[in-house]
Amino acid sequence: MADIARLLSQHGVSVTIATTPLNAARIRPMLHLSTTVPEPHNIQLVELHVPLLESGLPEGCESMELVPSRNLIRNFLEAFSKLQKPLEQLIEKMKPAPTCLLVDKHLHWTQDVSRKFQIPRILFDGTCCFYLLSIHNLLKSKSCYESVPDSQPIMVPGLPHKIELTRSQLPLDLNPESQDFSDIHQKIRASEEGAYGMVVNSFQDLELDYVKEYKKVKDGKVWCIGPVSLSYRGEQDLAKRGNKATVDENFCMKWLDSWPPRSVVYVCLGTLNRLALVQFKELALSLEACNRPFIWVMREDDSGEGNKWLSEEGFGERTKGRGFIINNGWAPQVLILSHPAIGVFLTHCGWNSTLEAICAGVPMVTWPMFGDQFLNQKLIVQILGAGEPLGNEVFVPIGKQDKFGAMIKGEKILEAIDKVMGEGTQKEEKKERSRKLAKLAKQSMEAGGSSYENMKMLVEDIAKLAFGNPQ
């Protein structure tokens, strides 16, 4: 969202970002880059305070990765719904009045704010058109999956490609493991109906058929304006993107400089995923056995059992020199992926990570766990030909990882890494396909590119709504 604000400002729009203190602290450095992009003087950052303690949450719990347990996710969402009144008070004071609300889709209560002030509301979902169209079509054809056994393949209806999932791989409340949040998802879907349109962090050359089809669903009001991470230039800018890194960026880059091109395995399974201890061990031992240099952004649960096991087993000593572990912290991921030493990205297939790998031209080994990740894997592997699947077949909800144990054995991880990083015609095809996608991504964001033009059209569309069509 901060990236989108920067892009809007570069198109001459005045932007106010309303967020919480913790998120404001993360965003602020991204708005004041001093290298190659002019500072966006027309962006204002406003902090809204969330009543966390009265919602049963610890102080500072202002983003999903900081929610201590699954049973507090509902508290977290309810706490954020209490931002409605402060947001309305902010809008009442703004001079001139805002002409558009660009909001996170999951903040369903913003539809009431939009109606109160008669301001068009545009949604941002953080996924791609392939995913959004798939969900839309599945919801229209519930009979294709509702009475089907969990392991039986389901054809996603109405897509340009043949895409199959099992019921146990379906996202959101379509999945049997996520029924405890079905009422919240229904509110989010209901709030979509009154929105003016949708902004998507993707680009047309990546998923053209799906952009076209999803535009039909939304009466043309879909703007693909990404990859928004490409609005950054140079190492200094990239290092400031996102949360403050828990590793020295210069040290990380020097370590990568010491390895040949395309030789390093980068492992990051996202900010929300946690592995059961037995699965954690399988991953660790496979990285040791692969005999390749690796960067592992390691996350474990609050028990600390993973770190304890690594220490007792002497993992760090045995992989010393070729293993770089970022322990339970934030990695400068775009900076890492952009380094020529990275040869493969072992990823959970979250959309941000997927798009960042595509922009860097890095092929992926895919390990989806929940949410949009299984559908993103289908796009990466089947449609784009830019990845190798690990073969995970089961949805692992946040906070339930111990129930599932070790679904992916170390040998499978080794085999998948070798399929991408080794020699051979098929492996070279994946690498070449990844390089071509990276080139197309960059072109889309340049002046005259599809995403650049879509951003212009979005700004023009909102201006016409607000001020009419000047003669």
CATH number of the domain that residue 395 is part of? 3.40.50.2000
Nearest to 91 by CA among 117, 63, 58, 112: 117
- Domain assignment present for residue 140? The answer is yes
pLDDT of residue 339 exceeding 90: yes
pLDDT of residue 33 exceeding 80: no
Same domain, 16 and 45: yes
Same domain, 47 and 189: yes
Sheet with strand 222-224: strands edge to edge: 101-104, 121-124, 197-200, 222-224
The beta-strand segments (E) located in 137-286 are 153-155, 164-166, 197-200, 222-224, 264-268
Same domain, 154 and 50: yes
Same domain, 141 and 72: yes
Q: Give the domain range for residue 21.
A: 2-230+444-467
Mean pLDDT of 451-461: 96
Rounded to whole angstroms, the Cα distance separating 147 from 176 reads 11
- Domain assignment present for residue 237? The answer is no
Q: Is 71 helix (H, G, I), strand (E, B) or coil?
A: helix
pLDDT of residue 50 exceeding 80: yes
How confident is the prediction for the chain on average, in pLDDT? 89
Same domain, 333 and 371: yes
Rounded to whole angstroms, the Cα distance separating 420 from 260 reads 16
Torsion sign (Cα): 246, 248, 252, 255: negative
- Domain assignment present for residue 131? The answer is yes
In the prediction, which pLDDT does 132 show? 96
Write the DSSP string, 154-189. EEPTT-SS--EEEGGG--GGGSGGGGGGHHHHHHHH
Same domain, 430 and 451: no
In the prediction, which pLDDT does 36 show? 45
pLDDT tier for residue 35 given thresholds of 50, 70 and 90: very low
Could you report the per-residue pLDDT of 207-225, keeping only the tens digit for each?
A: 999 999 999 999 999 999 9
* Tally of domains in the chain: 2
- Domain assignment present for residue 236? The answer is no
Same domain, 260 and 375: yes
Whose tokens are 């949708």? That residue is 198
pLDDT tier for residue 471 given thresholds of 50, 70 and 90: very low
Same domain, 180 and 265: no
Mean pLDDT of 300-318: 80
- Domain assignment present for residue 206? The answer is yes
pTM score of the predicted model: 0.91
User: Percent of the chain beyond pLDDT 70?
Assistant: 91
Omega within 30 of 0 (cis) for the link into 96: yes
Same domain, 256 and 321: yes
Same domain, 206 and 272: no
Rounded to whole angstroms, the Cα distance separating 344 from 355 reads 14
Same domain, 279 and 265: yes
Same domain, 223 and 248: no
pLDDT tier for residue 241 given thresholds of 50, 70 and 90: low
- Domain assignment present for residue 214? The answer is yes
